[in-house]
């Protein structure tokens, strides 16, 4: 992310970025390897691995043209592996590099090096079998095992370290179109796609073949493409700033989702989630929806997203909440933080919210679904507890249920136990819960089920309650 942007709220910065059109004509392609496991300590193993097997060829393999015996090595030198590492993320990185036996160099020079060398980016040429190289891909609680630190990015290039160093240095600090200077942290794994998509990407040129970022157990590999022209002088464009803003918002959503995942284990269990990824997607959606009400400050977005963790990401669209949305978020005479606070307080004070923050709501829904399976009809649900406060809201709610059912890929004219079960769970969450990433598991169950078969659905929900 561009360093100067750190002084701004990431969600406020994203307002323009999310309204921009996607860039056309990008010259890079990307691949992802999911669920990469780090190396362990490899105790007692004589021939230790340097990298996880799934990444071995990606990080150290040679293209076929290099492996051919008749290849001219002077015209087509071997593909080398470099890392650009952040000393802010690795304690004593400079000392580690000095004792590693690997060729390395700081990307900062002069005064910047004197002042920032212990928190600066360093480029190092990695070698197979080297202990430092292996430690980059090893996960443990030992401080020199660096997998969990996500310390930087990896570059495959035929260039020498000095040539690659000279190239990358051009991008550590660049000007925008008005002459203002910005530091760029292109070695951040979470920002790889932003810099790859940038109109003045640091990954174009210097014989760079591909760039790898390891984050959250996934490996993202970017192939910048080839160019026959010399890269222009780096200039931070308006579109590049928008990309950085959007990435800042995405990073904020990922971090917030991880906090929710760690601090709300009961709700994670009720949702049947194994990771925080679906929460992050929901947070981004809700942030965009809140922007229409000028709710853009991160603290205010987080406040309402915390409610959405229980109600669902479509909480603002739910007909039962429209009146509340209009009377709080829609009151332009109040400042956005005040409106966000009022919405949160009123939603949390509802009887339905009390059912959602414990097992009570899901347990009651399971009991009703079992009665539906047994008798063919649902027990009467107290509408006031379900948040339906008038006949007008009731009509709107059932219409929304039909809309949500249709948007999930089902016929709105279907009459079945499956559709009735959807309506009952809509009372618990929202009519659009099957479009919510946090309920992706239930959507798969609905899609795979027969019209009048809800046994698997009930079993899944009972298991989440530890009753299956």
The 3-state DSSP class for residue 287 equals: helix
pLDDT for res 178 = 83
Q: Please enumerate in sequence order all residues whose Cβ is within 8 A of that of 375, keeping only pairs 6 or more positions apart, or say none.
A: none
Q: Please enumerate in sequence order all residues whose Cβ is within 8 A of that of 178, keeping only pairs 6 or more positions apart, or say none.
A: none
pLDDT for res 54 = 94
pLDDT for res 3 = 39
pLDDT for res 236 = 78
Structure tokens at 6: 């750190």
Q: Please enumerate in sequence order all residues whose Cβ is within 8 A of that of 4, keeping only pairs 6 or more positions apart, or say none.
A: 180, 182, 183
Taking a C-beta distance cutoff of 8 angstroms, is the pair 124, 97 a contact?
A: yes
Taking a C-beta distance cutoff of 8 angstroms, is the pair 124, 184 a contact?
A: no
Q: What distance in Å separates the CA atoms of residue 160 and residue 407, rounded to the nearest whole number?
A: 54
Which H/E stretch holds residue 371? Answer: helix 360-375
The 3-state DSSP class for residue 142 equals: coil
Q: What distance in Å separates the CA atoms of residue 38 and residue 145, rounded to the nearest whole number?
A: 10
Q: Please enumerate in sequence order all residues whose Cβ is within 8 A of that of 466, keeping only pairs 6 or more positions apart, or say none.
A: 269
Structure tokens at 189: 């794994």
Angle between helices 298-311 and 277-291 (to 10 degrees): 120
Q: Rounded to whole angstroms, what are the CA distances from 294 to 304, 309, 372, 402?
A: 13, 21, 43, 30
Q: Please enumerate in sequence order all residues whose Cβ is within 8 A of that of 202, keeping only pairs 6 or more positions apart, or say none.
A: 167, 168, 170, 171, 184, 186, 195, 234
**Pairing label, strands 235-236, 173-176:** parallel
Angle between helices 298-311 and 336-348 (to 10 degrees): 20
Residue 421, number of CB atoms within 10 A of its CB: 24
Structure tokens at 426: 């809509």
DSSP string, 89-106: TSTTHHHHHHHHT--EEE
pLDDT for res 232 = 63
Beta bridge partners of 177: none
Tell whether pTM > 0.75: no
For the chain (468 residues), the mean pLDDT of every run of 10, in chain order, is 39 41 56 92 90 95 59 72 95 94 94 81 96 95 92 96 95 85 89 85 89 91 69 74 80 91 96 93 92 91 95 95 94 91 94 92 94 90 78 93 94 93 95 95 92 95 88
pLDDT for res 74 = 56
Closest CA to 289 of 425, 408, 435: 435
pLDDT for res 69 = 44
**Pairing label, strands 181-183, 173-176:** antiparallel
């Amino acid at each position: 992310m561009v360093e100067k942007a750190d002084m701004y709220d990431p969600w406020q910065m994203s307002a323009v970025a999310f309204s921009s059109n996607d860039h056309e004509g990008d010259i890079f392609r990307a691949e992802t390897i999911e669920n990469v496991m780090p190396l362990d300590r490899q105790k007692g193993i004589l021939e230790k691995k340097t990298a996880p097997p799934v990444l071995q060829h990606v990080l150290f393999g040679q293209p076929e043209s290099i492996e051919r015996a008749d290849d001219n090595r002077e015209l087509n030198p071997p593909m080398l592996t470099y890392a650009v590492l952040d000393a802010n993320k690795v304690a004593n990185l400079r000392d580690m590099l000095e004792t590693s036996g690997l060729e390395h160099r700081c990307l900062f020079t002069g005064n910047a090096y004197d002042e920032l060398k212990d928190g600066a980016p360093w480029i190092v040429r990695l070698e197979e079998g080297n202990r430092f190289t292996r430690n980059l891909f090893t996960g443990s609680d030992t401080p020199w095992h660096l997998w969990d630190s996500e310390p930087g990015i990896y570059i495959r290039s035929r260039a020498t370290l000095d040539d690659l160093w000279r190239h990358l240095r051009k991008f550590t600090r660049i000007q925008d179109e008005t002459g203002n200077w910005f530091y760029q942290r292109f070695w951040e794994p979470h920002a790889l796609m932003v810099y790859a998509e940038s109109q003045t990407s640091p990954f174009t040129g210097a014989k760079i073949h591909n760039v790898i970022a390891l984050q959250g157990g996934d490996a993202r590999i970017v192939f910048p493409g080839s160019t026959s022209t010399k890269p222009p002088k780096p200039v931070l464009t308006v579109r590049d700033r928008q990309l950085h803003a959007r990435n800042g918002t995405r990073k904020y959503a990922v971090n917030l989702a991880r906090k929710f995942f760690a601090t709300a284990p009961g709700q994670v269990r009720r949702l049947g989630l194994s990771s925080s990824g679906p929460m992050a997607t929901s947070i981004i959606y809700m942030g965009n929806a809140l922007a229409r009400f000028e709710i853009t400050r991160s603290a205010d977005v987080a406040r309402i997203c915390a409610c959405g963790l229980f109600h669902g990401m479509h909480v603002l669209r739910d007909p039962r909440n429209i009146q509340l949305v209009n009377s709080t978020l829609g009151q332009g005479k109040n400042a956005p933080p005040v409106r966000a606070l009022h919405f949160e307080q009123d939603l949390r004070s509802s009887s339905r919210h009390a059912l959602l923050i414990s097992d009570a709501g899901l347990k009651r829904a399971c009991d009703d679904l079992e009665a539906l399976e047994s008798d063919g009809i649902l027990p009467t649900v107290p509408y006031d507890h379900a948040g339906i406060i008038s006949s007008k809201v009731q009509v709107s709610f059932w219409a929304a249920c039909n809309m949500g059912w249709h948007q999930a890929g089902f016929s709105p004219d279907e009459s079945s136990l499956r559709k009735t079960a959807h309506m009952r769970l809509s009372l618990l969450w929202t009519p659009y819960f099957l479009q919510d990433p946090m309920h992706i598991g239930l959507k798969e169950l609905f899609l795979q089920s027969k019209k009048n078969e809800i046994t698997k659905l009930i079993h899944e929900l009972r298991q989440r309650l530890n009753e299956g």
